[in-house]
Structure 1
Amino acid sequence: MASSTRIANEFLSVDVSSLGAEMQALRTSDGRSLLWNGDAAFWGGRSPILFPIVGKAPDDAVEIEGNSYPMNQHGFARRTEFALAASSDTMCRYELSASEATKAVYPFDFVLDVEHRIEGRTLTVAAEVRNRDRRPMPFGLGFHPAFVWPLPGAEGSDHVITLDNKAEPALIRLSGGLLSLERHPSPFEGGRLVLDHAMFDEDAMIFPEGAGEGLRYRAEGGPTLHFTFDNLPNLALWQKPGAPFICIEPWHGMAAENGGSKELAERPYSQTLEAGKMARFAFSVEVTG
């Protein structure tokens, strides 16, 4: 049975579930809800942690050292119970350790820690992956938070995403849930993208490189959410068509390529962690206005 932990300070409050170590709510002190509510009529997720793959695998299976293992889209962590390892008024850390169940689909001894921490007006969500195995461990890691669209107080206003680096990164799309290799012109102009629901008629917009280490999501009359990314080189934007949310997804890893290798280690931007090593991935969001 999943349990929940609440952390809070004078500016923000966050609820985190033990199921998937998934954030369930992000609210300002004046009661504005910024995170999608998980209405299953559109999409039941809120902020899942993607591990040990990001995206889909061909025939829902990955190959590891030549052997095939079943693997659903975005991996198993989001549907697995985590243990609460530490907590305070403004921090909670959940831990997932390898088990017989995980080794049946991902044959490695690992620990995945997910920490939510509030400092001032900023929430930081960090994931640490430790390889406790005796061999190199391939994986992908991603964050999939969904934020309300429209933002509170900004109904009827244009919602804009602006990249800190002012870049115009190339766009790729999915075909049957797998990465198409075709590059499309960037929808960003000078780093600025005015969101339009029609952009998501063809599924997610994926930017494999060049989106940089930060962006702002805002609209006139609403709060500004400034994101920064650590060790997360890939970015996706996604919405279930017509739903009142936008997913801002920083990743280190992507879906398998259409017609490409099934080997987990050969998926785009997969990381291979040496025995005994640890890797950290994090995003922060500062709420102002």
Structure 2
Amino acid sequence: MMHQISGFGRRAVIHDTGAELQSLRGGDGAELLWQGDPQWWSGRSPVLFPIVGRAKDDHLTVAGEPVVMAQHGFARRQTFRVIEAAEHHVLHELTASDATLAAYPRRFRLRIEHRLTAEGLSIGAEVLNTDARALPFGLGFHPAFQWPLPGAEGAPHVINLGTGAEPLQNPLSGGLLRRDRTASPFTQGRLALEADLFRNDALVFSEGAGEALSYGPETGPQLRFRFENLPLIAFWTRPGAPFLCIEPWHGAAAWTDGGAALEDRPGTITLQPGETAGFAVHIDLQDFDAGRGAMGR
């Protein structure tokens, strides 16, 4: 089932499957979110839980217990329950079931909220450990946006880090994370986007990218992001595809030379019984308000 929320001249649509964002329109009415053309990639904005990235041969262990889990976990394919639905926001919840326990032997509550604000869209996540044992997990967001953005067709696009940093890159090999880091593709926080950047998979930065960035043409409408409790960042597309994924994470793929333990994966969080952890992505859409989307404004 789909849920549309609206407010401040903006609209968003969220599906119960995966609590996944399906559409995001600014005040000028333009569609900003990738629409999932399966020729390239059928996803739009999956939530990644209880792992981010891949496990070697899809096998991992939780406190020594072996399980099988596909890339990015199972939450994106589960049906969430609606807890609250109002004009400006919708709150979804996923709890442990026989199906999830077979893949992940822990009880949990995962809540995802989409809320329109005066600035744009906020997507929040909260994980509660409802088990009697420790709960190790990773969580990430994987939204894909149009490349080029509406109103910026033909213009080169860039990512600018709010810190102006030049974080080192963690290369992927077979979908797993290498421990060695390579030179930063950023120059004073700026990355000029080209399809060739993604010929070897996603660009992953395990530290140093900061909590804010912008994406879009340098002289036109841009999306601006702020992250909470999401210290890793990745960027991904299929070379030549008309979308860009901007992926803030707390967790990552297994190390190429690491073991199977979920607890040993980079960025894994462990909650004790009754503990919670919160995460959020805030997307500023004000450049896409009516009358502001033209190039050069």
How high is the TM-score relative to the length of structure 2? 0.95
Q: 2 CA distance for matches of 1:37 and 1:221?
A: 25
Partner residue of 2:270 out of 264, 269, 272: 272
- The equivalences for 1:75-154 within 5 A come to 75-154=73-152
**In 1: Cα distance, 2:140 partner to 2:218 partner:** 29
CA deviations 1:81-137 (Å, max 9, x no partner) are 101110110000010010011001101110000000011132000010000011110
How far, CA to CA, are the matches of 1:187 and 1:220 in structure 2? Answer: 17
Corresponding position of 1:9: 7
The reply on whether 1:197 has 2:176 as its aligned counterpart is: no
Measured in 2, the distance between the counterparts of 1:263 and 1:10 equals: 45
Query: Contact 2:10–2:29 at 8 Å: present in 1 too?
Result: no
RMSD over aligned CA atoms reads 0.9
Q: For structure 1, which runs of at least 5 residues remain unmatched after alignment?
A: none
| Distance (Å, rounded) in 1 between the aligned partners of 2:126 and 2:8 | 27
Q: Give the Cα–Cα distance (whole angstroms) in 1 for the partners of residues 85 and 47 of structure 2.
A: 19
d(CA) in 2 for partners of 1:24, 1:214 = 23
**2:225 is equivalent to residue 227 of structure 1:** yes
Shift of 1:10: 2.9
> How far apart, in 2, do the equivalents of 1:159 and 1:121 lie?
22
Q: What secondary structure, in the 3-state scheme, does the structure 2 residue paired with 1:198 have?
A: helix
Q: Does 1:180 align with 2:142?
A: no
Cα contact 2:61–2:260 (8 A) shared by 1: yes
* Aligned equivalents of 2:207, 2:167: Cα separation in 1: 7
Distance (whole Å) between structure 1 residues aligned to residue 166 and residue 112 of structure 2: 31
Query: 8 Å contact 1:11–1:120 — kept in the other structure?
Result: no
* Structure 2: runs of 5 or more not aligned: 288-297
| CA distance, structure 1, for counterparts of residue 218 and residue 10 of structure 2 | 21
Q: Which runs of 4+ in 1 moved over 6 A?
A: none
Percent of residue pairs identical: 50
In the aligned structure 2, how far is the partner of 1:233 from the partner of 1:96? Answer: 24
Alpha-carbon distance between aligned partners in 1 of 2:50 and 2:67, rounded to the nearest angstrom: 12
CA contact (8 A) 1:151 1:222 kept: no
Alignment counterpart, residue 167 of structure 2, candidates 131, 155, 169: 169
Letter in 2 for 1:133: D
Q: Distance in 2 between matches of 1:222 and 1:85?
A: 38
- State the one-letter code of the partner of 1:275: P
How far residue 221 of structure 1 moved from its aligned partner, in angstroms, is: 6.0
* 1:252 alignment counterpart: 250
